[in-house]
Amino acid sequence: MPVLRKDPVVKRWVIIKDDQPFKLSQLQVEDTTPKGDTSKCPFCPGHEEMTPPEVLAYRSKDSEPNKEGWEVRVIPNKFAALKNEGELNRKLFGVYDKMNGVGAHEVIIETPEHFESFYTYPVSKVEQIIWAFVDRYDDLRKDKRLRYIQIFKNHGKAAGASLEHPHCQIIATPVVVKRVMEEIDGSKEYYIYHDSCLFCDMIDQEIAEGIRVIEKNSHFVAFCPFASRFPFEIWVLPLKHRADFGHISEEEVRSLAEIMSNVFKRLGRALSNPPYNFIIHTSPVNSPGIDCSKFYHWHIEIMPRVIKTAGFEWASGFYTNPLSPEEAAKLLRNA
């Protein structure tokens, strides 16, 4: 019998349809190994002039900006969804709202190596990438027009990546994004009832039950969420309550790099390097009206893109997942 499970934060129901034995062959796993014509890749070293000038780079001391010699390089997106000049100019048109598309859209080129990925990186490389997230996050929040900083990654065509050279993206928006507002509203409601952080309580329950946990280290836990939308969906949460990703400590950065590195190696082995999105959900910035520091809890969601979403998901916000998170966690622990 299929089972309905509810995500306690956003009250999203999923159908865990594991009444038939699960076979990996049910999934559509794109081969995400780079095929690479690196000669035309705008993110490969030596091609720095093909991109807008860098806003951040970790590079050797004897190298020049926008030349070779970098290890991580951050640039404005050439095809930016939002632009950083101008005023918001918010206007009402009858029942509708409209404003200028002010914001930021950056690309974090993770490595000069075209053929590497989170499936192959050493921990030190993952750590470097997380530091780039932190540095850009800290810088972007200084722009008082911005309300939310969304860090995310598309890996593979099925996940929406248009270039295969490993990169993440940041889009900073002048409004708080809908999904995060839903998480804030849901965790606020829980806080009012229980006087505790829903995410902290969820972490306690996951660690106590153990069946959905993949890895745990000194500062983080990775588990397949109870109401997983997708096969092998993975959430990574800091053990210490913090709403704001920007408040991550040095020790936590190291610990996060370790757990992310392990989790991606397990996922890569279990599913032959599948396409995925990962996203960081954190509290809004420059939003004194939204004080969620007591009850919101920043985290990472990793969503392998191995099944199709269709009309029912779009219509309902329901998801149908052929693999239980308990089984997924077991497969990942054994991978």
User: Residue 82, interface with its own copies (CB under 8 A)?
Assistant: yes
Going by C-alpha positions, the residue among 131, 117, 200 that lies closest to residue 159 is: 117
| Closer by beta carbon to its own copies, 228 or else 273 | 228
- Under rule CB under 8 A, which residues in 207-246 are in contact with its own copies? 226-227
**CB–CB of 140/56 below 8 Å?**
no
Q: What is the dihedral of CA 130, 152, 244, 123, to 10 degrees?
A: -20
Q: Which of 188, 318, 326, 330 binds its own copies (CB under 8 A)?
A: 318
User: Residue 95, interface with its own copies (CB under 8 A)?
Assistant: yes
d(CA 109, CA 102) in angstroms, rounded, equals 23
Alpha carbon distance, N-terminus to C-terminus of the chain: 28
User: Residue 192, interface with its own copies (CB under 8 A)?
Assistant: no
- Under rule CB under 8 A, which residues in 131-160 are in contact with its own copies? 148, 150, 152-154, 159-160
User: Residue 178, interface with its own copies (CB under 8 A)?
Assistant: yes
d(CA 187, CA 282) in angstroms, rounded, equals 13
Q: How many residues bind its own copies (CB under 8 A)?
A: 69
Distances (CA, A) of 269 to 224, 230, 233, 264, 266: 16, 17, 15, 8, 5
Q: Which stretch binds its own copies (CB under 8 A): 124-132, 263-271, 288-296, 306-314?
A: 306-314
Footprint of its own copies on this chain (CB under 8 A)?
1-6, 8, 10-13, 15-17, 81-83, 86, 93-101, 148, 150, 152-154, 159-161, 169, 171, 173-175, 177-180, 182, 198, 201-202, 205, 226-227, 277-281, 301, 303, 308-312, 314-318, 320
